[in-house]
Homo-oligomer: A and B are copies of this chain.
Amino acid sequence: MSSYIKNDWYMAAWAGELTDQPLGRRIANEPVCLFRDASGKVAAVEDRCPHRAVALSLGKVVAQGIECGYHGIVFDGKGECVRIPGQSHIPSKACVRHYAVEEKDSIVWLWLGDPAKADRSLIVDYPWHGDTKKWPHKEGLIPVACDYRMLLDNIMDLTHLGYVHARTIGGSPGAHSNALMKTDRTERGVKFQRWLLDSMPPPTYLKAANFPGHIDRWQELELITPCSIIQYTGGVDVAQDAYHGGSREGGFAMRVLHCVVPETDTTCHYFFSVANGWAQDNPQVTEIAYGQVYPTLIEDKVICENQQKLVADFPDRETVDIKSDEARIVFRRQLDRRIAEEQALQAASGAALSPA
Protein backbone atom coordinates (compact mmCIF):
# COMPACT_ATOMS: atom_id res chain seq x y z
CA MET A 1 0.00 0.00 0.00
CA SER A 2 1.23 3.47 -0.85
CA SER A 3 1.94 5.73 2.10
CA TYR A 4 0.54 8.80 0.33
CA ILE A 5 -2.86 10.31 -0.24
CA LYS A 6 -2.92 11.35 -3.90
CA ASN A 7 -6.00 13.56 -4.07
CA ASP A 8 -5.09 16.25 -1.61
CA TRP A 9 -2.97 19.37 -1.22
CA TYR A 10 0.69 19.29 -0.29
CA MET A 11 2.87 22.28 0.41
CA ALA A 12 5.27 22.40 -2.52
CA ALA A 13 7.28 25.54 -1.78
CA TRP A 14 7.38 28.81 0.04
CA ALA A 15 5.90 31.41 -2.33
CA GLY A 16 9.11 33.39 -1.89
CA GLU A 17 11.19 30.55 -3.30
CA LEU A 18 9.67 31.12 -6.73
CA THR A 19 11.28 34.06 -8.48
CA ASP A 20 12.09 34.17 -12.21
CA GLN A 21 13.89 30.81 -12.08
CA PRO A 22 12.19 27.42 -12.21
CA LEU A 23 12.41 25.22 -9.12
CA GLY A 24 12.72 21.43 -9.30
CA ARG A 25 11.42 19.46 -6.33
CA ARG A 26 10.56 15.81 -5.81
CA ILE A 27 7.17 15.45 -4.10
CA ALA A 28 5.89 12.02 -3.07
CA ASN A 29 8.35 10.45 -5.55
CA GLU A 30 7.13 12.64 -8.41
CA PRO A 31 9.54 15.08 -10.10
CA VAL A 32 7.86 18.49 -10.15
CA CYS A 33 9.00 21.68 -11.88
CA LEU A 34 7.50 24.80 -10.30
CA PHE A 35 7.66 28.18 -12.02
CA ARG A 36 5.90 31.51 -12.29
CA ASP A 37 4.55 32.26 -15.75
CA ALA A 38 4.86 35.66 -17.44
CA SER A 39 1.92 36.97 -15.39
CA GLY A 40 3.43 35.81 -12.09
CA LYS A 41 1.00 32.93 -11.63
CA VAL A 42 2.54 29.74 -10.30
CA ALA A 43 2.47 26.60 -12.47
CA ALA A 44 3.67 23.07 -11.83
CA VAL A 45 4.50 20.45 -14.44
CA GLU A 46 6.32 17.12 -14.51
CA ASP A 47 10.02 17.87 -14.17
CA ARG A 48 11.10 15.70 -17.09
CA CYS A 49 11.18 16.68 -20.74
CA PRO A 50 9.62 13.84 -22.77
CA HIS A 51 12.24 14.33 -25.51
CA ARG A 52 15.44 13.26 -23.75
CA ALA A 53 14.34 12.87 -20.10
CA VAL A 54 16.14 15.93 -18.74
CA ALA A 55 14.70 18.03 -15.88
CA LEU A 56 12.80 21.06 -17.16
CA SER A 57 13.92 22.90 -14.02
CA LEU A 58 17.40 23.04 -15.59
CA GLY A 59 15.84 25.25 -18.29
CA LYS A 60 14.40 28.73 -18.14
CA VAL A 61 11.09 30.54 -17.97
CA VAL A 62 10.06 32.08 -21.30
CA ALA A 63 6.97 33.99 -22.43
CA GLN A 64 5.05 30.84 -23.38
CA GLY A 65 6.03 28.72 -20.39
CA ILE A 66 9.08 26.68 -19.42
CA GLU A 67 11.82 26.01 -21.98
CA CYS A 68 13.89 22.83 -21.72
CA GLY A 69 17.58 23.64 -21.27
CA TYR A 70 18.67 20.81 -23.56
CA HIS A 71 17.03 21.35 -26.99
CA GLY A 72 14.68 24.25 -26.32
CA ILE A 73 11.28 22.53 -26.33
CA VAL A 74 8.69 24.73 -24.57
CA PHE A 75 5.77 23.63 -22.38
CA ASP A 76 3.02 25.82 -21.00
CA GLY A 77 1.66 25.70 -17.46
CA LYS A 78 -0.81 22.98 -18.44
CA GLY A 79 2.02 20.75 -19.63
CA GLU A 80 1.13 21.21 -23.31
CA CYS A 81 4.07 21.36 -25.70
CA VAL A 82 3.86 24.72 -27.49
CA ARG A 83 7.15 24.78 -29.38
CA ILE A 84 9.73 22.38 -30.81
CA PRO A 85 12.68 24.23 -32.38
CA GLY A 86 13.20 23.27 -36.01
CA GLN A 87 9.82 21.73 -36.65
CA SER A 88 6.22 22.89 -36.81
CA HIS A 89 4.49 19.58 -36.08
CA ILE A 90 3.98 18.90 -32.36
CA PRO A 91 3.49 15.18 -31.67
CA SER A 92 0.62 14.49 -29.28
CA LYS A 93 2.91 12.49 -27.00
CA ALA A 94 5.16 15.51 -26.50
CA CYS A 95 3.44 16.76 -23.38
CA VAL A 96 4.02 16.51 -19.67
CA ARG A 97 1.79 16.05 -16.68
CA HIS A 98 0.65 19.18 -14.91
CA TYR A 99 -0.56 19.85 -11.40
CA ALA A 100 -3.20 22.10 -9.91
CA VAL A 101 -1.42 24.68 -7.78
CA GLU A 102 -2.55 27.55 -5.62
CA GLU A 103 -0.64 30.32 -3.89
CA LYS A 104 -2.15 31.16 -0.52
CA ASP A 105 -0.83 32.43 2.83
CA SER A 106 2.75 32.66 1.44
CA ILE A 107 2.59 28.98 0.52
CA VAL A 108 2.46 27.22 -2.85
CA TRP A 109 0.02 24.34 -2.47
CA LEU A 110 0.04 21.48 -4.97
CA TRP A 111 -2.72 18.92 -5.60
CA LEU A 112 -0.85 15.66 -6.11
CA GLY A 113 -3.68 13.80 -7.87
CA ASP A 114 -5.88 14.43 -10.89
CA PRO A 115 -6.05 18.23 -11.43
CA ALA A 116 -9.71 17.91 -12.42
CA LYS A 117 -10.51 16.79 -8.91
CA ALA A 118 -8.62 19.61 -7.18
CA ASP A 119 -10.90 21.15 -4.57
CA ARG A 120 -9.60 24.55 -3.52
CA SER A 121 -11.85 24.62 -0.45
CA LEU A 122 -9.67 21.91 1.08
CA ILE A 123 -6.50 24.01 1.20
CA VAL A 124 -5.32 24.51 4.77
CA ASP A 125 -6.01 28.01 6.11
CA TYR A 126 -3.12 29.75 7.76
CA PRO A 127 -4.15 33.39 8.01
CA TRP A 128 -1.41 34.23 10.54
CA HIS A 129 1.16 34.40 7.75
CA GLY A 130 -0.68 37.47 6.50
CA ASP A 131 -1.10 39.03 9.93
CA THR A 132 2.34 40.61 10.18
CA LYS A 133 1.25 42.97 12.95
CA LYS A 134 0.16 40.40 15.50
CA TRP A 135 2.12 37.41 14.19
CA PRO A 136 5.33 38.39 12.37
CA HIS A 137 6.97 35.20 11.15
CA LYS A 138 10.04 33.64 9.58
CA GLU A 139 10.04 30.66 7.21
CA GLY A 140 12.35 27.66 6.98
CA LEU A 141 12.93 24.36 5.20
CA ILE A 142 14.97 21.42 6.48
CA PRO A 143 15.65 18.26 4.43
CA VAL A 144 15.21 15.18 6.59
CA ALA A 145 16.15 11.62 5.59
CA CYS A 146 13.12 9.79 6.97
CA ASP A 147 9.61 8.68 6.03
CA TYR A 148 7.50 11.85 6.45
CA ARG A 149 5.18 10.02 8.85
CA MET A 150 8.00 9.58 11.37
CA LEU A 151 8.37 13.35 11.71
CA LEU A 152 4.61 13.80 12.03
CA ASP A 153 4.58 11.05 14.67
CA ASN A 154 7.30 12.96 16.46
CA ILE A 155 5.24 16.15 16.65
CA MET A 156 2.10 14.26 17.67
CA ASP A 157 3.74 12.87 20.81
CA LEU A 158 5.02 15.88 22.68
CA THR A 159 6.34 13.89 25.64
CA HIS A 160 9.52 13.83 23.54
CA LEU A 161 10.08 17.48 24.49
CA GLY A 162 11.32 16.52 27.93
CA TYR A 163 14.02 14.25 26.43
CA VAL A 164 14.92 15.34 22.89
CA HIS A 165 14.67 19.04 23.68
CA ALA A 166 15.74 19.10 27.33
CA ARG A 167 18.22 21.89 26.63
CA THR A 168 15.79 24.08 24.63
CA ILE A 169 11.99 24.01 24.74
CA GLY A 170 11.74 20.86 26.84
CA GLY A 171 11.60 21.85 30.47
CA SER A 172 11.05 19.12 33.04
CA PRO A 173 10.21 15.65 31.62
CA GLY A 174 7.80 14.92 34.47
CA ALA A 175 5.64 17.90 33.58
CA HIS A 176 5.33 16.61 30.01
CA SER A 177 4.48 13.07 30.96
CA ASN A 178 1.84 14.27 33.42
CA ALA A 179 0.37 16.94 31.15
CA LEU A 180 -3.42 17.20 30.93
CA MET A 181 -4.11 15.79 27.51
CA LYS A 182 -7.23 15.93 25.36
CA THR A 183 -7.28 14.32 21.95
CA ASP A 184 -10.09 14.72 19.41
CA ARG A 185 -10.42 13.09 16.07
CA THR A 186 -11.52 15.54 13.39
CA GLU A 187 -12.97 15.09 9.91
CA ARG A 188 -9.54 15.38 8.29
CA GLY A 189 -7.14 14.64 11.11
CA VAL A 190 -6.69 15.04 14.81
CA LYS A 191 -6.53 17.85 17.33
CA PHE A 192 -5.02 17.80 20.74
CA GLN A 193 -4.54 20.09 23.64
CA ARG A 194 -2.02 19.71 26.42
CA TRP A 195 -1.80 21.81 29.54
CA LEU A 196 1.26 21.75 31.74
CA LEU A 197 -0.10 23.45 34.81
CA ASP A 198 2.09 25.05 37.42
CA SER A 199 5.27 24.05 35.55
CA MET A 200 8.78 25.42 35.20
CA PRO A 201 9.18 27.67 32.15
CA PRO A 202 11.61 25.95 29.74
CA PRO A 203 14.85 27.69 28.68
CA THR A 204 13.31 29.00 25.44
CA TYR A 205 10.44 30.67 27.29
CA LEU A 206 12.75 32.30 29.78
CA LYS A 207 14.80 33.81 26.98
CA ALA A 208 11.65 35.33 25.52
CA ALA A 209 9.76 36.61 28.54
CA ASN A 210 10.30 37.33 32.20
CA PHE A 211 8.37 34.94 34.42
CA PRO A 212 8.51 35.45 38.19
CA GLY A 213 7.83 31.75 38.84
CA HIS A 214 5.79 28.81 37.55
CA ILE A 215 3.53 29.06 34.53
CA ASP A 216 0.48 27.39 33.04
CA ARG A 217 1.59 26.23 29.64
CA TRP A 218 -0.55 25.15 26.71
CA GLN A 219 0.12 23.31 23.49
CA GLU A 220 -2.66 23.16 20.96
CA LEU A 221 -1.94 21.19 17.84
CA GLU A 222 -4.11 20.31 14.90
CA LEU A 223 -2.93 17.85 12.32
CA ILE A 224 -4.70 18.10 8.99
CA THR A 225 -4.01 15.16 6.72
CA PRO A 226 -2.02 14.54 4.73
CA CYS A 227 0.80 16.33 6.51
CA SER A 228 0.22 19.80 7.97
CA ILE A 229 0.31 20.60 11.67
CA ILE A 230 -0.85 23.92 13.09
CA GLN A 231 0.66 24.60 16.49
CA TYR A 232 -0.30 27.30 18.98
CA THR A 233 1.73 27.21 22.12
CA GLY A 234 2.52 29.49 25.03
CA GLY A 235 2.52 30.09 28.72
CA VAL A 236 1.41 32.70 31.24
CA ASP A 237 1.91 33.22 34.95
CA VAL A 238 -0.08 30.72 37.03
CA ALA A 239 -1.92 33.63 38.63
CA GLN A 240 -3.78 34.27 35.35
CA ASP A 241 -5.42 30.82 35.57
CA ALA A 242 -5.50 30.53 31.77
CA TYR A 243 -6.61 26.90 31.93
CA HIS A 244 -9.93 27.90 33.43
CA GLY A 245 -10.50 30.63 30.87
CA GLY A 246 -8.19 33.30 32.21
CA SER A 247 -6.27 35.54 29.82
CA ARG A 248 -3.48 34.11 27.68
CA GLU A 249 -1.98 37.54 27.08
CA GLY A 250 1.16 38.98 28.57
CA GLY A 251 3.34 35.89 28.61
CA PHE A 252 4.92 33.87 25.89
CA ALA A 253 3.07 32.73 22.75
CA MET A 254 4.20 31.22 19.51
CA ARG A 255 2.58 29.84 16.40
CA VAL A 256 4.46 27.20 14.47
CA LEU A 257 3.33 25.73 11.18
CA HIS A 258 4.77 22.33 10.28
CA CYS A 259 4.33 20.95 6.76
CA VAL A 260 6.18 17.67 6.53
CA VAL A 261 6.01 16.77 2.88
CA PRO A 262 7.16 13.42 1.50
CA GLU A 263 9.99 13.73 -1.02
CA THR A 264 10.62 10.00 -1.49
CA ASP A 265 9.59 7.03 0.64
CA THR A 266 12.53 7.67 2.95
CA THR A 267 13.12 11.43 2.75
CA CYS A 268 10.99 14.50 3.33
CA HIS A 269 10.87 18.28 3.16
CA TYR A 270 10.27 19.82 6.58
CA PHE A 271 8.73 23.23 5.86
CA PHE A 272 8.06 25.31 8.96
CA SER A 273 7.37 28.85 10.05
CA VAL A 274 7.71 30.50 13.44
CA ALA A 275 5.52 33.46 14.44
CA ASN A 276 6.07 35.35 17.68
CA GLY A 277 3.10 36.57 19.72
CA TRP A 278 5.01 39.08 21.83
CA ALA A 279 7.19 42.14 21.15
CA GLN A 280 5.85 42.01 17.57
CA ASP A 281 7.25 45.41 16.67
CA ASN A 282 10.80 44.26 17.21
CA PRO A 283 12.02 42.29 14.15
CA GLN A 284 14.88 40.90 16.20
CA VAL A 285 12.40 39.01 18.34
CA THR A 286 11.16 37.07 15.30
CA GLU A 287 14.76 36.13 14.60
CA ILE A 288 15.21 35.06 18.20
CA ALA A 289 12.04 32.94 18.18
CA TYR A 290 13.13 31.27 14.94
CA GLY A 291 16.60 30.82 16.38
CA GLN A 292 15.07 28.96 19.33
CA VAL A 293 12.88 26.67 17.24
CA TYR A 294 15.35 25.82 14.49
CA PRO A 295 17.79 23.84 16.69
CA THR A 296 14.93 21.84 18.19
CA LEU A 297 13.90 20.75 14.70
CA ILE A 298 17.48 19.71 14.04
CA GLU A 299 17.29 17.63 17.24
CA ASP A 300 14.14 16.00 15.83
CA LYS A 301 15.91 15.41 12.52
CA VAL A 302 18.73 13.52 14.27
CA ILE A 303 16.25 11.29 16.11
CA CYS A 304 14.02 10.59 13.09
CA GLU A 305 16.91 9.91 10.72
CA ASN A 306 18.27 7.42 13.24
CA GLN A 307 14.82 5.81 13.45
CA GLN A 308 14.61 5.60 9.66
CA LYS A 309 17.98 3.90 9.50
CA LEU A 310 17.06 1.34 12.17
CA VAL A 311 13.71 0.63 10.52
CA ALA A 312 15.47 0.14 7.17
CA ASP A 313 18.14 -2.11 8.69
CA PHE A 314 15.71 -4.19 10.79
CA PRO A 315 12.36 -4.07 8.99
CA ASP A 316 11.01 -7.16 10.74
CA ARG A 317 11.48 -6.02 14.31
CA GLU A 318 8.28 -4.89 16.01
CA THR A 319 7.45 -1.72 17.88
CA VAL A 320 5.32 -1.29 21.00
CA ASP A 321 2.86 1.56 21.56
CA ILE A 322 2.55 3.39 24.88
CA LYS A 323 -0.02 5.72 26.38
CA SER A 324 1.55 8.89 25.02
CA ASP A 325 1.07 7.57 21.47
CA GLU A 326 -2.64 8.34 21.62
CA ALA A 327 -2.78 11.32 19.24
CA ARG A 328 -0.19 9.74 16.98
CA ILE A 329 -2.29 6.61 16.64
CA VAL A 330 -5.42 8.62 15.80
CA PHE A 331 -3.40 10.43 13.13
CA ARG A 332 -2.09 7.21 11.62
CA ARG A 333 -5.55 5.65 11.54
CA GLN A 334 -6.97 8.72 9.83
CA LEU A 335 -4.18 8.69 7.27
CA ASP A 336 -4.44 4.96 6.61
CA ARG A 337 -8.23 5.19 6.34
CA ARG A 338 -8.01 7.98 3.78
CA ILE A 339 -5.38 6.13 1.74
CA ALA A 340 -7.47 2.95 1.79
CA GLU A 341 -10.64 4.83 0.78
CA GLU A 342 -8.83 6.49 -2.08
CA GLN A 343 -7.43 3.21 -3.31
CA ALA A 344 -10.78 1.44 -3.02
CA LEU A 345 -12.38 4.24 -5.03
CA GLN A 346 -9.68 3.98 -7.65
CA ALA A 347 -10.03 0.20 -7.87
CA ALA A 348 -13.81 0.52 -8.23
CA SER A 349 -13.55 3.15 -10.94
CA GLY A 350 -10.92 1.06 -12.70
CA ALA A 351 -13.30 -1.92 -12.58
CA ALA A 352 -16.17 0.19 -13.95
CA LEU A 353 -13.99 1.36 -16.83
CA SER A 354 -12.63 -1.99 -17.91
CA PRO A 355 -14.65 -4.02 -20.40
CA ALA A 356 -16.66 -6.82 -18.81
Digitize A54-71: 1 where CB-to-B-CB distance is under 8 Å, 0 elsewhere.
110011000000011111
Q: Are A84 and B164 in contact (CB under 8 A)?
A: no
**A177 cross-chain contacts in B, Cβ below 8 A:** 72, 85-86
The reply on A292 being an interface residue by CB < 8 A is no
Q: B319 contacts A53, CB within 8 Å?
A: yes
Complex Cα distance A259/B55, Å?
26
Report the nearest B residue to A161, measured CB to CB: B71
User: Shortest CB–CB separation between residue A84 and chain B, in angstroms?
Assistant: 5
Residues of chain A from 143 to 173 with CB closer than 8 A to chain B in the complex? 153, 157, 159-160, 162-164, 173
Contact at A153–B93, with CB atoms within 8 Å? no
On chain B, the residues within 8 Å of A87 by CB distance are 322-324
With an 8 A cutoff between CB atoms, is A178 at the interface?
A: yes
Interface string of A250-282 (1 = CB under 8 A from B): 000000000000000000000000000000000
Best-buried of A52, A59, A307 by chain B (most CB within 10 Å): A52
Q: Give the residue of B94, B173, B307 whose beta carbon is less than 8 angstroms from that of A85.
A: B173
Q: A91 contacts the other chain (Cβ, under 8 Å)?
A: yes
| B306 with A71: CB separation less than 8 A | no
Q: Is the CB of A71 within 8 A of B159?
A: yes
Q: Which of A58, A68, A70, A319 has the most CB of B within 10 A?
A: A70
Q: Which residue of B lies closest to A157 (CB)?
A: B71
CB 8 Å contact bits of A293-310 with B (1 = contact, 0 = none): 000000000110011001
Contact A317 B51, beta carbon cutoff 8 Å = no
Contact A319 B50 (CB under 8 A): yes
Q: Which residues of B contact A307 (CB under 8 A)?
A: 52-54, 70
Query: Is B70 a contact partner of A324 (Cβ separation < 8 A)?
Result: no
Chain B nearest Cβ from A161, distance in angstroms: 10
Which residue of B50, B86, B317 contacts A178 across the interface (Cβ within 8 Å)? Answer: B86
Interface digits, A171-203 against B, CB 8 Å rule (1 contact, 0 not)? 001101110000000000000000000000000
Whether A318 is near chain B, meaning CB under 8 Å from some CB there, is yes
A296 to chain B, nearest CB (A): 14
Q: Which residues of B contact A36 (CB under 8 A)?
A: none
Q: Within the complex, which residue of B68, B302, B306, B320 is in contact with A51, where a contact is CB–CB below 8 Å?
A: B320
Chain B proximity mask over A310-342: 1 for CB below 8 Å, otherwise 0: 110110011111111000000000000000000
Q: A289 on the interface (CB 8 Å rule)?
A: no
Q: Are B53 and A322 in contact (CB under 8 A)?
A: no
Name 8 A/B residue pairs within 8 A (Cβ), A-sorted: A51-B319, A53-B310, A53-B314, A53-B317, A53-B319, A68-B163, A69-B163, A87-B324
